[in-house]
Structures are given as C-alpha cells and as structure tokens.
C-alpha cells in the first residue's frame, strides 16, 4: 500500500504571530525517514483571518443580533452573559483588516502608536467574535476565557456537546466553510496537536466534526495537553471516554511514534507496537508499554517551510527551536512539567553545541529570529566556563558568539560559533522556575 496522505492540524486559540514548532518537528522527522510530507494546517491563524471575510462578517452580524442564550453548563448566570455582551462593540471589519496590515508591515509595526492601535483593534475584533460563543471568551484577544470547569479539564464538562459547541461558535463558520471541505475525502490520516490546556475544548470539537465528515480516516492526536490528560487520569482506562472520536493518541514525545503510525497505516495495520501510542479500545485490547523518550541528537534540523508564513501577525519570521528536553537538575519537588516516571520531569537531553550551531545557522536562513523553546539549558557549555545570561555578543577564546536574550534564566548557556556565526538578529530563551538553583 502507498504511504497515507496526512493532514496535521494546529487548533485555536493561541499566539497568532508565528506557527508553533511541534508539527514541523514531526513532519521533518518523518520526511528524514523517507515518508512523504504532510500538509500542515494552522487552523489557529486560518480561523482568525477567516473571521473577517465577507461571509463570516455577515454571519457574525446575524449572530450578534440574536438574544444571549443561557449557559448550557449553568456556570454563568444569564445576567452575567448579558452584561458581557454589553461590553462588546460593533464589529468593524475595515479596522481589523487595517490592523492586520499594520502588524505585517515592516515599518508601521515598529511605530508604537500604530502598533498599539492595531493591537487594540484586534482585541476589540476578537471580543466581538467571541460574543458568538460565551460573551467575553475573547475579551483579552488570543488569551481565551471559558467556564472554570471547562478550563480545569472536567471530563464531564468536556463531554457536554452543547457546551463545547457553544465555545466553538466563533469558528464554526470557518470549520464548515473552509476547513472541513478541504479535508473531506482527501486524507487517510488526520492528526491534531494540542499544546495548551485552553486549546482542548476547540480540539475536542474539531475531533467531532472531522470524525463526522471523515468516518473512514484514521484520526490521531498528541501534544502536551493530550499527554497531561492521560498523565493525570486516576483511571487511565477512561482516556477514550474523552477522546472517543480518535483512533489513537500519542502520549509523550512523538517523532518515532508518528513514524510508526504512518508505516503501520501504509501496511494496512494498526499502530500497536509503539510504547507511546495508545489505541482506542474499539481496536482491541493492547498492552500499554513504558513510555520512551527520544534521542534528540538524532533529530534533523526542523523544517518550517510548511507553515503559512504570510498569514502571521508579524513583519518578521521567527521560529521556535528546542535543542533540549527535560531538566538537568530534575529535583524540584514543585515541578511537574512534562511526562515523568519517578522524577519531577522528563529525563535530561541536550544537543551538542556543534549541533545547535548547525541548526541555528540553517534556521537563520529562513527566519530573522530564533526562539529557544526550552525549559533549561545546561549550566556549562563551550570553553569549559560557566555560562552567563547576556543580551550582547561576547567572545570566548577570540571566537565571536551570537547574542542571547535570556528572559530570566541566570544559568542559560550561550550559543557559540566560529567566524561563520549565524546571522540571526536575536536568540532568546524563555524564563523558567528555579533559575539559579
């Protein structure tokens, strides 16, 4: 059998300024293993741009003319929702289109007054769009609000179709008129990556819609939130009560699991032999093996060419890069970040400096900014000296280093190079807890 045709989807709602790197890592790895490229669909940014098309604007106006409906969960009083609706202004499609143009313009973006006006216009627009669901769910733009039981991951609430349908109303026009027609009949495997907890209600609704539109597709999901859902379940046999529409989930790191799924489907088989793949019970009882962690030094440089770069709300491209996984300290009792067995977080792995330099050089050919999306970097790196956080270029033994911008990690190591240093304008590392332990 030929290799399956694959679509990988990143659901709403999250950062609209760049594509997340998870699906690019999976697809790059699969292609390095001889499998065809998947179609990567950033439904987060697509749904936003769809919201101000003429047809979607007409749908928005019709929806906002309707009375506010009661909360099917009973969490919000009707008076609360009506009050939130009063805080919603009139939709202004011309203003949102102008705001998008400003965010993507390499001159106007850096003019603070124009930038601030664009941000305010986008926030106001998202507040209008959100009023189709729970009024106020997008009052802060792309930082969604939802009934607390839903945000806290109550399985009972997340399986309430009326509630999940309601919170997805802002994007239903996009789903029905753009995404689903593009998917139906074209793909053998559809994967959904769920990184953040607040994406889960949107991902769950997408799973339902895709299953109804594509009953014969092999539907899978993975990502941090999928893994956390499995991790925190007291009775893990109930996992597919929540993910009933799926054929399988990937728990933990996904590169080799994804390859295994594709090769199994190409052979007309179920992907039952990989430790990180959990099959739906309807496919038969399969023994759950201990999770495995990827040897990240074997991973190729991620390829971000499959992302819709012209769609993001930024005049410059920036990419996420993850040269480490887990934590070298791995002793903080308050930490519960990532999948783990008998330790606070995942086992520590870090690329060599040479591999990091190789990757950053390649990434800097396509992106002006490289964001080190890591939890921690080792305290000691090249030249045998403790690393220090710095926002300026520095030298070590006369060799120039590319600059770091570290936002809070005192122990972050700096990426160093020789004369052929990467020419990325900025490299940054996120803040993390226990930065000086």
Could you tell me if 97 and 188 lie in one domain?
A: yes
Query: Considering the domain boundaries, does residue 308 fall inside one?
Result: no
**Residue 44 shares a structural domain with residue 138:** yes
In the block, tokens 């439904």 appear at 43
Q: Is the peptide bond before 353 cis (omega within 30 degrees of 0)?
A: no
260-274 confidence digits (pLDDT tens): 999 999 999 999 989
> Average pLDDT of 108-117?
98
Same domain, 57 and 143: yes
Identify whether residues 257 and 323 lie together within a single domain: no
Range of the domain at 60: 1-292
Helix/strand/coil percent split, the chain, to 5: 40, 10, 50
Q: Please state, in angstroms and rounded to a whole number, the distance separating the CA atoms of residues 219 and 236.
A: 20
Residue 178 confidence (pLDDT) above 70: yes
Partners of residue 416 on adjacent β-strands: 401
Residue carrying structure tokens 């009775």: 235
Share of the chain above pLDDT 90, in %: 74
pLDDT on residue 157 = 96
The CA distance from 300 to 322, in Å, is 12
Examine the fold and report which residue of 260, 292, 324 is the final residue of a domain before the chain moves on: 292
pLDDT value for 396: 33
Residue 410 confidence class, pLDDT cut points 50, 70, 90: very low
Please provide the DSSP assignment of 281-315 as one string: GGG---PPPPP----GGGPPPP--TTS-GGGSS-S
**pLDDT (0 to 100) of residue 109:** 98
Query: Are 283 and 359 in a shared domain?
Result: no
Instruction: Report the alpha-carbon angle 24-28-32, nearest 5.
Output: 175
Q: Tell me what pLDDT residue 427 has.
A: 52
Q: How far apart are the first and last CA of the chain?
A: 53
Over the stretch 240-254, which tens digit does the pLDDT of each residue have? 999 999 999 999 999
The answer to whether 262 touches 6, Cβ cutoff 8 Å, is yes
Residue 434, Ramachandran bin (φ over 0: left; ψ between -120 and 50: alpha; else beta):
left
396 occurs within a structural domain = yes
Closest by Cα among 397, 400, 394 to 412: 394
Using alpha carbons, select from 321, 350, 327, 351 the residue that is nearest to residue 22.
321
Cα separation, 400 vs 418, in Å, equals 6
Which pLDDT score is estimated for 349?
A: 93
Q: Residues 393-412, buried b or exposed e (16+ Cβ, 10 A)?
A: eeeeeeeebbbbbbeebebb
User: Does some domain include residue 297?
Assistant: no
Backbone angles phi and psi of 265, in degrees to 5? -70, -35
DSSP state of 105: -
Has residue 150 got a pLDDT over 70?
A: yes
Examine the pLDDT at 421 and tell me if it is beyond 50: no
Whether pLDDT at 381 is above 70: no
Mark whether 161 and 66 lie in a shared domain. yes
Same domain, 248 and 375: no
- Residue 181 domain-assigned (yes or no): yes
**Domain co-membership, 255 together with 378:** no
**Rounded to whole angstroms, what are the CA distances from 389 to 109, 279, 345, 408, 437?**
28, 44, 24, 8, 15
Q: What is the pLDDT of residues 43-73, one digit of tens each?
A: 999 999 999 999 999 999 999 999 999 999 9
In a domain, 301, yes or no: no
The predicted pLDDT at position 389 comes to 35
Task: Report the mean per-residue pLDDT for the chain.
Answer: 87
Secondary structure (DSSP) of 362-422: HHTTT-SEEEE--S---SB-GGGSB----SS--EETTEEB---EESS-TTPPPPB--SS--
User: Average pLDDT in the 327-345 region?
Assistant: 76
Joined together, the tokens standing for residue 53 give: 């098309």
pLDDT, greater one: 314 or 339: 314
Q: Same structural domain for residues 204 and 334?
A: no
Q: Is the pLDDT of residue 136 over 70?
A: yes
pLDDT score recorded for residue 412: 35
Select the more confidently predicted residue: 141 or 97.
97
Same domain, 233 and 381: no
Whole-number Å distance between alpha carbons of 43 and 416: 36
Tell me, yes or no, whether 304 lies in a domain.
no
Query: pLDDT tier at 437 (50, 70, 90 boundaries)?
Result: very low
Residue 79 to residue 85: CA distance in whole angstroms: 10
pLDDT at 347 over 60: yes
Evaluate whether residue 107 is within a structural domain.
yes
Name the token pair of 385.
């000296």
Cα separations (Å) of 276 from 92, 254, 327?
A: 47, 7, 20
Asked whether residue 69 is domain-assigned, the answer is yes
Whether residues 332 and 278 fall in one domain:
no
Number of independent structural domains in the chain: 2
Q: pLDDT digit string (tens) for 209-261?
A: 999 999 999 999 999 999 999 988 889 999 999 999 999 999 999 999 999 99
Are 128 and 230 contained in the same domain?
yes
């Amino acid at each position: 059998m030929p290799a399956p045709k694959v679509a990988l989807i990143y659901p709403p709602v999250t950062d609209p300024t760049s594509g997340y790197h998870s699906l690019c890592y999976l697809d790059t790895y699969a292609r390095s293993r001889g499998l065809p490229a998947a179609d990567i669909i950033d439904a987060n940014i697509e749904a936003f741009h769809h919201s101000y098309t003429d047809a979607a604007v007409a749908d928005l106006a019709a929806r906002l003319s309707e009375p506010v409906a009661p909360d099917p969960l009973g969490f919000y009083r009707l008076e609360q929702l009506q009050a939130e609706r009063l805080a919603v202004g009139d939709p202004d499609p011309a203003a949102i289109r102008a705001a998008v143009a400003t965010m993507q313009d390499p001159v106007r973006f850096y003019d603070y007054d124009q930038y601030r006006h664009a941000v305010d216009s986008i926030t106001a627009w998202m507040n209008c769009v959100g009023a189709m669901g729970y009024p106020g769910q997008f009052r802060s733009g792309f930082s969604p609000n939802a009934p607390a039981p839903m945000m806290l991951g109550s399985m009972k609430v997340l399986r309430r179709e009326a509630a999940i349908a309601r919170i997805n109303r802002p994007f239903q026009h996009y789903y029905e008129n753009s995404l689903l027609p593009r998917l139906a009949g074209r793909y053998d495997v559809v994967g959904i990556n769920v990184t953040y907890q607040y994406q889960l209600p949107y991902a769950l609704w997408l799973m339902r819609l895709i299953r109804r539109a594509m009953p014969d597709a092999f539907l899978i999901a993975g990502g941090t939130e999928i893994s956390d859902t499995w991790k925190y379940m007291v009775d893990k046999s109930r996992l597919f009560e929540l993910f009933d529409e799926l054929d399988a989930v990937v728990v933990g790191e996904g590169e080799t699991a994804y390859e295994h799924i594709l090769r199994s489907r190409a052979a007309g088989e179920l992907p039952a032999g990989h430790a990180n793949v959990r099959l739906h019970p309807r496919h038969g009882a399969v023994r759950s093996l201990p999770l495995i962690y990827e040897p990240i030094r074997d991973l190729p440089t991620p390829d971000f060419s499959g992302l819709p770069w012209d769609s993001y709300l930024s005049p410059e491209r920036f990419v996420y890069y993850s040269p480490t996984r887990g934590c070298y300290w791995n002793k903080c009792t308050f930490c519960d970040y990532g999948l783990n067995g008998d330790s606070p977080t995942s086992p520590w792995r870090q690329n060599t400096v040479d591999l990091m330099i190789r990757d950053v050089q390649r990434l800097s050919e396509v992106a002006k900014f490289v964001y080190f999306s890591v939890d921690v970097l080792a305290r000691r790196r090249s030249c045998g000296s403790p690393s220090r956080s710095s926002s300026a270029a520095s030298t070590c033994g006369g060799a120039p280093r590319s600059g770091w911008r570290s936002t809070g990690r005192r122990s972050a190591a700096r990426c160093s190079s020789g004369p052929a240093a990467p020419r990325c304008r900025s490299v940054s590392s996120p803040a993390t807890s226990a930065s000086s332990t």
